[in-house]
Amino acid sequence: MRILVVCGAGASSTFVAQRLRRAATDAGLDLDASAGMEHTVSPGDHDLVLVGPHLADRLDAIRAAAQVPVAVLPEDVFSDRDGSRTLALARSILVGVTTTPEGTS
């Protein structure tokens, strides 16, 4: 599972991506979470793009660029110190994607 966490300048997304990786490791999951900015989103690079809440107004443009599921992170994402809530969000989105008949949503 490859997840890109997107924010304005890439700094806050780095913290979220690190916590997400740690939570995945603790759960025994093979997950690659990386941080980036909106202009780093491109099709085929990731299975999921998580967007910082401050970029919610850019969601349609990010979805068009990513061509994979894209979700806005909750406002309190930075209080998710262990990454468990962010991991639960990512897993819930990806489960929905992989359980559709065609394998995509």
Look at residue 43 and tell me if it is in a domain: yes
| pLDDT value at 100 more than 50 | no
Which DSSP string corresponds to 48-77? EEEE-GGGGGGHHHHHHHH-S-EEEPPTTG
- Structurally, how many domains does the chain consist of? 1
Domain CATH code at residue 54: 3.40.50.2300
- What tens digit of pLDDT does each residue of 10-44 get? 678 899 999 999 999 999 999 999 999 988 898 98
Look at residue 104 and tell me if it is in a domain: no
pLDDT of residue 103: 41
| pLDDT value at 82 more than 50 | yes
- What tens digit of pLDDT does each residue of 84-94 get? 999 999 999 98
Which burial class, exposed, middle or buried, applies to 100 when counting CB atoms under 10 A from its CB (0-12, 13-18, 19+)? exposed
